């Protein structure tokens, strides 16, 4: 038995010298080179691990092999892949049968290193173990191996166990080969020193590669977690945007997959790789990250007069003053000699009714709508000119200029200045994203995320791009953003629209140059809207859709 520290040369022997032939060395170097190439081609650890084990078997012409991986807590070794040619065993790995063998503990109940298991020994001491005949070895416990031999009529003889540790000395796995076979006679032989050195080189190479893949995945997970951190901040700042930040990426991917599957029409050439999907998903998650800088009182503005609170209650108080003053004037008039009480009471009733009507009108005007009529805007201005006396005894207009400007907002609840602040979030988004050193496979995230408010006709913002200047991905996200906003039932300033209402609006947008008509055609034809609706929209919003009635769509 040879026990050597991984990477050190074992004692030379006659078998090792016999195997040091140019053709043999060349073949093994070729296999190592192939593995090196595979490292740069695949990020699938499961596929790579199985390839490593098969290459190790091929290098040494071993009949069987097992690859162990450390458990998540690092306390044991788990059977990950097991192969045996004579017994036609393929367990674990990419498509092998399930492995039900218990893990091998690395420590005993007292916390001492497990020295009885050859795999645990190799892992604990970072040493290769080369055993010529396990039935003649008395150092390790091979009772499990002997039971295996009895059960399957097999004869285990030579073992080569090599730890896989990365550049920082962290255990990545253990590679164990069984029964090296003579290439000419097929007889079982021991693993030579050359075998061991090549397998140690392979194990070291594989360990570093696996660590690199894991590090990449950890960094990707960290990046996505940081993105979620930003979205959590936005959600905590304004619960009304939480659904939007979650659902726009999902709907974006739904539509992108539908376009990916399209085989005819102007978008038939659009295809996505897995890397493209990750890039688009990341852009979707970050498409509104700039809203983290938008003032809460604007994001959450549910009525036209709302800032920190809804100032309509201040206006109500002024009306109460006017109602009180009208009553006081009427009472004073009644005290005059010869006063016509009935006429005074009628005038008071009429005046107070006008005041209440105006107050109720302003309450309704304070709620954002689809379009405030010019006549209603003029009525706001007329009411504003009413005079009232404040607590300081000074007479003034019932509404100041800022209140009039807010109450006359035609669409929604935001003034032009507030809408500019809201729209500025996309510039902030672009600046935030362009400031990051994106890796090559994510370099388009700023463009995708920053383009979802552009329009096909060039009338969008922030850059006024036309459809030809936008990527398909940005155009896809524009549709997802609008559709989610239309159907969202959690906005403070509006109710969520029904499915049919939303599709009619989108159809008009497709006709007037707002969104890509070809993408909208796929959105409807592939029932992307319905998949999203059934999953996320309130049941009362999911009404029957007559696709023939959707503007610009031909079924």
Which one, of 382, 90, 56, lies nearest residue 197 by Cα?
A: 56
pTM of the model: 0.68
Mean pLDDT across 252-261: 97
Per-residue model confidence as pLDDT tens digits over 100-145: 889 999 999 899 999 999 999 999 999 999 999 999 988 898 888 8
b/e map of 17-51 (b: 16 or more CB within 10 Å)?
Answer: eebeeeeeeeebeebbeebeebbeeebeeeebbbb
Element (H, E) at 152: helix 143-152
Q: 13 falls in which pLDDT band (50, 70, 90)?
A: very low
Question: What ranges do the domains of the chain cover?
Answer: 2-215, 238-298+417-549, 312-413
β-strand partners of 177: 65, 160
Q: Which two tokens stand for residue 185?
A: 């006679």
Mean pLDDT, residues 536-546: 91
Nearest-Å Rg of the Cα atoms of the chain is 38
Whether 2-215 and 238-298+417-549 share one fold: the answer is no
CATH code for the domain defined by 2-215: 3.30.450.40
What confidence category does residue 42 fall into, taking pLDDT thresholds of 50, 70 and 90? low
Sign, CA dihedral 298-302-307-309, equals negative
Domain 238-298+417-549 CATH (choose: 1.20.120.530, 3.90.1170.50, 3.90.950.10, 1.10.3210.10): 1.10.3210.10
Q: What is the C-alpha to C-alpha distance for residues 86 and 36, in angstroms, rounded to an integer?
A: 29
Under DSSP, the state recorded for 209 is H
- Would the pLDDT of 81 be above 70? yes
Helix 274-286 crosses helix 193-237 at what angle (to 10 degrees)? 30
Task: Output DSSP code: residue 268.
Answer: T
Task: At 339, give phi and psi (nearest 5°).
Answer: -65, 140
Q: What's the whole-number average pLDDT of the chain?
A: 87
């Amino acid at each position: 038995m040879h026990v050597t520290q991984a990477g050190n040369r074992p004692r030379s022997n006659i078998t090792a010298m016999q195997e040091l032939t140019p053709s043999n060395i060349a073949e093994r170097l070729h296999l190592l080179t192939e593995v090196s190439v595979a490292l740069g081609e695949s990020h699938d650890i499961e596929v790579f691990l199985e390839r490593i084990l098969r290459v190790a078997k091929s290098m040494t012409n071993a009949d069987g092999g097992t690859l162990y991986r450390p458990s998540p807590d690092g306390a044991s070794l788990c059977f990950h892949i097991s192969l045996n040619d004579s017994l036609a065993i393929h367990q674990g790995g990419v498509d092998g049968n399930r492995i039900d063998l218990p893990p091998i503990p690395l420590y005993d109940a007292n916390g001492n290193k497990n020295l009885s298991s050859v795999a645990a020994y190799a892992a604990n001491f970072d040493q290769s173990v080369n055993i010529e005949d396990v039935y003649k070895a008395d150092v390790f416990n091979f009772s499990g191996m002997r039971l295996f031999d009895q059960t399957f009529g097999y004869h285990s003889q030579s073992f080569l166990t090599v730890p896989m540790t990365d550049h920082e000395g962290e255990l990545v796995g253990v590679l164990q080969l069984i029964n090296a076979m003579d290439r000419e006679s097929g007889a079982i032989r021991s693993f030579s020193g050359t075998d061991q050195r090549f397998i140690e080189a392979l194990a070291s190479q594989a360990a570093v590669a696996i660590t690199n893949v894991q590090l990449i995945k950890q960094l990707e997970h960290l990046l996505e977690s940081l993105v979620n951190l930003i979205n959590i901040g936005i959600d905590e700042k304004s619960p009304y945007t939480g659904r939007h930040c979650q659902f726009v990426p999902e709907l974006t991917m739904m539509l992108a997959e539908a376009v990916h599957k399209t085989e005819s029409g102007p978008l038939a050439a659009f295809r996505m790789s897995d890397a493209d999907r990750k890039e688009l998903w990341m852009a979707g998650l970050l498409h509104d990250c700039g809203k983290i800088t938008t003032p809460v009182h604007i994001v959450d503005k549910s009525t036209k007069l709302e800032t920190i609170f809804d100032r309509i209650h201040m206006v109500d108080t002024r009306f109460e003053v006017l109602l009180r003053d009208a009553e006081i004037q009427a009472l004073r008039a009644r005290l005059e000699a010869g006063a016509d009480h009935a006429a005074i009471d009628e005038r008071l009733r009429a005046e107070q009714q006008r005041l209440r009507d105006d107050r109720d009108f302003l309450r309704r005007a304070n709620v954002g709508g689809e379009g405030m009529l010019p006549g209603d805007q003029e009525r706001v201005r007329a009411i504003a000119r009413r005079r009232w006396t404040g607590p300081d005894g000074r007479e003034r207009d019932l509404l100041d200029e800022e209140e009039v400007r807010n109450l006359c907002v035609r669409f929604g609840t935001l003034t032009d200045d507030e809408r500019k602040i809201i729209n500025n979030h996309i510039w902030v988004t672009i600046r935030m994203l362009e400031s990051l050193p994106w890796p090559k496979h994510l370099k388009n995230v700023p463009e995708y995320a920053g383009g979802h408010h552009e329009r096909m006709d060039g009338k969008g913002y922030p850059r006024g791009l036309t459809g030809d200047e936008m990527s398909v991905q940005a155009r896809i996200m524009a549709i997802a953003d609008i559709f989610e906003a239309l159907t969202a039932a959690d906005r403070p300033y509006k109710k969520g629209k029904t499915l049919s209402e939303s599709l009619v609006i989108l159809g008009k947008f497709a006709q007037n140059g707002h969104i890509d008509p070809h993408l909208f055609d796929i959105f409807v034809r592939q029932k992307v809207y319905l998949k999203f609706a059934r999953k996320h929209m309130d049941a009362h919003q999911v009404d029957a859709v007559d696709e023939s009635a959707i503007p610009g769509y031909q079924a």
